[in-house]
């Protein structure tokens, strides 16, 4: 590890502004979502994930067609838009029935913290998916990757920055994997050049060297970072890693933040 990223330990209006403008690199807010609510919702989360039909990778499972599946356009865009409303209702009213879902909580906080609010993305008058649930069982991982700012579905928004948001409902014991590794910034051209398969979402860790920094989240923690920075999740060796996730698009200072997943 050569250098730690610039971190803040609370999500506030000021740290959100710092992250949105690139003054800091990571917000790591411990127990942002109450751990007892994580425990209460987890059995329903696991059932929903087990029933999901996620196509991007077999390294983890997700409830909801994600933006990663539609990055290159094509038929997957229709599937994404066709299923986003039903997936949102499933997560809010069935998986988190009687509880506030983590992605609803972050949406409300962003809307109140950002001077011009936050809104769910739309495409041709149709709602984008505002949040997903992800689960890694033993052997699951997230290879080093970047999340592109400009893809066909997001082009009209002309994002300046794309922030990743993860809220952890279940994590492996320390030493059992699931850590988030962060590397430096790569252009999309540099990243694609490292890929062995141009259509694969990620690359093998040994091709990028040691990370700059590593975060081991706990139950209920929120980790928020610039998704254009290369990042990955170490293989889960024991236990499971379950999270609620979304992205936040940053545009001009006087524009609302854009929420999508």
Indicate the DSSP class of residue 153. Answer: G
Helix (H, G, I), strand (E, B) or coil at 152: helix
pLDDT at 198 (0 to 100): 63
Average pLDDT, the chain: 91
Give the pLDDT score at 213.
Answer: 95
Q: Which of 8, 83, 17, 31 is nearest to 52 (CA)?
A: 83
For residues 215-226, average pLDDT: 97
The vertex-22 CA angle with 16 and 25, nearest 5°, equals 75
pLDDT at 103 over 90: yes
Cβ 202 vs Cβ 240: under 8 Å? no
Predicted confidence (pLDDT) per residue in 38-90, tens digit: 999 999 999 999 888 765 667 888 898 778 778 767 788 888 999 999 999 99
Q: What is the pLDDT of residue 158?
A: 93
**Model pLDDT, residue 141:** 92
Asked if 134 and 106 touch (Cβ cutoff 8 Å), the reply is: no
Per-residue pLDDT, averaged over 169-194, amounts to 87
d(C-alpha 83, C-alpha 231), whole Å = 28
Mean pLDDT over 101-121 rounds to 98
Backbone angles phi, psi at 36, to 5 degrees: -65, -30
Q: What is the pLDDT of residues 126-175, one digit of tens each?
A: 999 999 999 999 999 998 998 877 788 898 999 999 999 999 999 999 99
Mean pLDDT for the stretch of residues 237-243: 97
Q: What pLDDT does 149 receive?
A: 75
Domains and CATH numbers, the chain: 7-260 (2.60.120.620)
The helix/strand count (H/E) of the chain reads as 5, 15
> Residue 67: what pLDDT?
82
Check residue 196 and give its pLDDT.
67
Predicted local distance difference test score (pLDDT) of residue 1: 41
CA–CA separation, 127 and 107 (whole Å): 14
Are 108 and 114 in contact, with CB atoms under 8 Å apart? no
| CA max distance for the chain | 47
Rg (C-alpha) for the chain, rounded Å, is 17
Do 147 and 226 form a contact (C-beta atoms < 8 A)? no
* Cβ burial 111-148 (10 Å sphere, 16+ → b, else e): eebbeeebbbbebeeeebbbbbbbbbeeebbbbbbbbb
């Amino acid at each position: 590890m050569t250098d730690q990223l610039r971190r803040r330990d609370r999500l506030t209006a000021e740290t959100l502004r710092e992250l949105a403008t690139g003054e800091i690199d990571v917000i790591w807010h411990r127990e942002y979502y109450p751990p007892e609510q994580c425990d209460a919702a987890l059995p329903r989360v696991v059932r929903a994930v087990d029933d999901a039909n996620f196509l991007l990778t077999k390294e983890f499972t997700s409830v909801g067609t994600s933006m990663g599946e539609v990055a290159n356009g094509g038929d997957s865009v229709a599937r994404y838009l066709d299923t986003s409303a039903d997936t949102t209702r499933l997560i809010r009213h069935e998986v988190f029935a009687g509880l506030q879902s983590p992605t609803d909580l972050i949406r409300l906080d962003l809307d109140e913290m950002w001077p011009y609010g936050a809104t769910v993305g739309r495409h041709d008058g149709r709602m984008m998916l505002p949040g997903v649930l992800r689960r890694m069982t033993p052997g699951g991982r997230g290879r080093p990757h970047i999340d592109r700012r400009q893809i066909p579905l997001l082009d009209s928004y002309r994002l300046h920055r794309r922030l990743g948001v993860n809220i952890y409902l279940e994590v492996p014991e320390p030493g059992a994997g699931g850590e988030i590794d962060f590397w430096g910034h790569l252009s999309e051209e540099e990243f694609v050049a490292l890929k062995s398969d141009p259509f694969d979402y990620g690359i093998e860790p040994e091709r990028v060297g040691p990370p700059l920094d590593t975060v081991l989240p706990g139950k209920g923690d929120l980790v928020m970072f610039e998704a254009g920075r290369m990042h990955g999740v170490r293989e889960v060796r024991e236990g499971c890693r379950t999270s609620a996730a979304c992205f936040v698009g940053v545009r001009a200072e006087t524009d609302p933040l854009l929420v999508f997943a």
